[in-house]
Structures are given as C-alpha cells and as structure tokens.
Amino acid sequence: MKRFNISRDLCVFQNKSWTHSPKYSTKANNPNNPNNSNNPNNSNNSKNSTKTNNPVKTNKTNKPITTVKSKREPPPHAPQKERTNYGHKFPPQTVYTFNLYYAQLHFNRLLFIAQHNNLNVEEQTIIRQQFKKIGADLTAVRGSILGAVIKQSIIYRHMAPLIMGPVCMISSNVGDEENPKLVSDILNILNKQKKMLLIGGKLDNSLLNLEDIKRVAKLPDKKHLRVEMVQTLSSPAARIVDLLERNPKSLVRSLETHESNLKGKNKK
C-alpha cells in the first residue's frame, strides 16, 4: 500500500475531486497567460491554439484537466457526505483520512481488524517491521472515521461491530503465489503480542471472524489443493479404464486355455 503525504499545501478537496490549489494551478487557468483562451487581450486565440507546443488537454465539457505531478498522489475519492450533521464542512485532514481508509478497505484483498492496548512507539515500529517482511502493513486508525467508511459500504457493513476501542488495521495485497502462508504468518506474529487481539476482518470478498481466520490459516496452499483435486477427478476415470481392461484380458486367457484343451484332445 502506498504511503500518502497528508500535507494540504498542494491539494484541496473541491467539487468531489482532488485538484490543485489555486496558487499552484496550471498555466491554462492563469488569466495572465497569453495562450489562455480566457485572456481578453488575446484576439487570436482560436488561430494560435493549434500552434502551441503544449496544448491543454480537455474533457467533454471543454474544461482543462488538471493532473497531480507529484509521485505521492492522494487516495481516490470515496462517496461520502459533504457536510456534518451540524451543517459544517469536514476538515481536509478528515476527508483525506476517510479516502485513505476507503482505499485500504476496498483495494486490499486482505484486511484484519485488531485491538491494541497502549502500544508505544518502539513496539509499533517492531511490529510494523515484522509485518513488512511478510508483505503486510499495520496502520493505527481512528475508529470513528473507519466506522463511517464501513457503515456506508454495502459489502462490508457487517464489519461495523468490530470497531470498538483502539483498533488497528492489518492490510495486504499479496497474492497466494507470492506468500501462500500469509494468514498463518499474521497469526504467528499476533500470537506473540500480548497487547494485540485479533477480532476479525475480510479476505477477498468474504467476511471472517476469529474462528474463520484460524481455519483459513490451517488450509494448504492452492497448489496442493489443485493436485488433490486433479487426483480426485482422475481416479474414477482410471478405475473405469482398469475395469474395461480386465474383461478382455480374462476373455483372452479363457480362450487360450480352451484352445490348449482342444489341442490335447486331438492328440489323443
């Protein structure tokens, strides 16, 4: 999962999308730009627009498309309310955190919820390093914002009772080919931590409680399951072939014995 910068200097939330701040807007939006179509001093806008070296990209509504050039782009916009119950606008940091939790919930194949009891900075750093080795991330979350993200989701709304007290997310997008024992590795790390308790989570599109997670950890990897399935499917066919081969062999043997008996009688 990418780590995003929470700084609000370059981006603001406006019109349900992430755009540049006005002071960092592109040259196309600058009225002082001579190549801008909105500049009244430029009378040959239509003629010179085709001759510019860097034409401005536009969408169907003929509005310039602004792109974030920074490598640390903000998370995708999540469907949410524009104002609080009291009619106030949400702070930019709250909106950013909401979008970040939304992306982690919907774009990771594995997400587990665990309660933590007063973890200090050193303990969190050690646990994060252990999870990084197996391809997972540990994130301490704000329960109120994560609960709002989960409640508005149609698929994962039943995870809302898991958000109680101080919680953290264990997320990963690693496939079974890269780490087939990912769930069991996560359980092994959490079993060694006395201050963390796994509650539940989701794997792919299935919701899991603690017992389900333990069952999934005991399952063999996909390669082993495929071999067993192929053996199970091929065993009836092998039995049929064996039965079909037995009858001709017994018939040939009986004919050979009958032929030998007839030859013996003729000699007498």
Q: At what angle do helices 182-191 and 121-133 cross, to 10 degrees?
A: 160
Q: How confident is the model at residue 240 (pLDDT cuts 50, 70, 90)?
A: confident
Give the other-Cβ count within 10 Å of 110's Cβ: 20
Between CA 83 and CA 62 the distance in angstroms is 29
Burial class for 265, CB neighbours closer than 10 Å (0-12, 13-18, 19+)? exposed
Tell me the CATH number for domain 108-219.
3.30.70.1730
137-140 and 110-116 strand pairing: unpaired
Domain map of the chain by residue range? 108-219, 223-258
pLDDT value of residue 115: 92
The DSSP bridge partners found for residue 202 are 111, 207
pLDDT, residue 187, reads 93
pLDDT tens digits, 75-115 = 555 667 777 777 788 888 888 899 899 989 989 999 999 99
User: Is the pLDDT higher at 42 or at 262?
Assistant: 262
Mean pLDDT of the residues in the chain: 73
Alpha carbon dihedral 42, 45, 49, 54, in 10-degree steps, equals 30
The string of pLDDT tens digits covering residues 168-199 is 999 999 888 888 889 999 999 999 988 899 99
**Cα–chain center distance at 65:** 28
**What is the structure's pLDDT at 221?**
75
